[in-house]
Amino acid sequence: MSGLIDSVQGVLGGWLTELVIGFVLLAVLITLNAMFMVWFERKVAGWVQGRHGPLHHGPFGLAQTALDVVKLLGKEFIIPSKVDRPVFLLAPIIAFLPALAILSLIPYSADMTLTDAQSGLLIVFAFGGLSLGGIFMGGWSSNNKYALLGAIRAVSQNIAYELPLLLSAMAIVLMSGTLNLTEIVDAQAGYRWNVFFQPLAMLIFLISAAAETNRAPFDIPEAESELVAGFHTEYPAMGFAVFFLAEYTYMFAVCAIGAVLFLGGAAGPLLPGPVWLLLKVYFLLFLMVMARWTYPRLRFDQLMNLAWKYLIPLALGNLMLTAFVLKLVQT
């Protein structure tokens, strides 16, 4: 009996140790990514607009983001008097936590995956939809018309762009024959990256991903020019910071999924797998940042028309064509 107890304790201890280490690594990744992306976006914005961006705090202004974090930590968390307090406080957490689950499913190399689920891609999309609940909770509970309008916009936008996002990914699932992210990467061995066979699917995926993460030119739920800040208008200090952290985390997550689906994931010569994955992810992030500082914000009717009249039919047609070609090849 004692031997059985020792075995169970050993298994449980190992499982808990892996869980804690994985959680710590993900927390470090999320924090460093958010701090780097704030600096990176400022630098890219400065480059596009003929400015320098952050310069004066640390080398190349790298310490500017750390000082912004200190400023936010030092601010008082003021809660408006007429908000739905429990929902108001819970909303940023609900918006952020699903990102941890998504990042745990990404294969960072051939032997570095925290959760290697057989239906990994399906779980990614399921958890991605949960973040919308946090955005809607924040806008609904704020007792503010601008926040409510932003939340409603977020719901309609995410419903519209979730469809082309799923359809573009399903074309890759048909080609790979699996929902497992590691197996999708393995199916692209030998530089047979899916982007070479599915360029339209990748374009649709990137556009839809930008809309899903509320990035300009699809930042209608925030829209500072007409909604002050949209769904997080009433959130001060760390409440705002958590929403901001969630946005950059989901940007990293969707670009990591894009790299896995279309760019061979962590595959590449000479350098370690995680390095290749990060290079591909930040290349896609650069494209998203460039789009923000290059194109003006769409009107809401233009945003809906782009999804329902163009992206969804194109993604559906691409999926049907993929199925037809695969059927011909198999026969």
Examine residue 217 and say whether the peptide bond preceding it is cis (omega within 30 degrees of 0).
Answer: yes
Average pLDDT over residues 72-87: 86
Residue 126 CA to residue 196 CA, distance in Å, equals 27
Please tell me the least confidently modeled range out of 88-102, 176-190, 304-318: 88-102
Residue 65 CA to residue 77 CA, distance in Å, equals 20
Name the band, by pLDDT with cuts 50, 70 and 90, for residue 279: very high
Instruction: Look up the pTM and report it.
Output: 0.91
Contact 273, 266 (CB under 8 A): yes
Match 């916009």 to its residue by tokens. 153
Mean pLDDT of the chain: 88
Residues in the chain: 331
Give Cα separations from 102 to 147, 210, 262 (angstroms): 27, 17, 17
Report CA Rg, the chain.
21
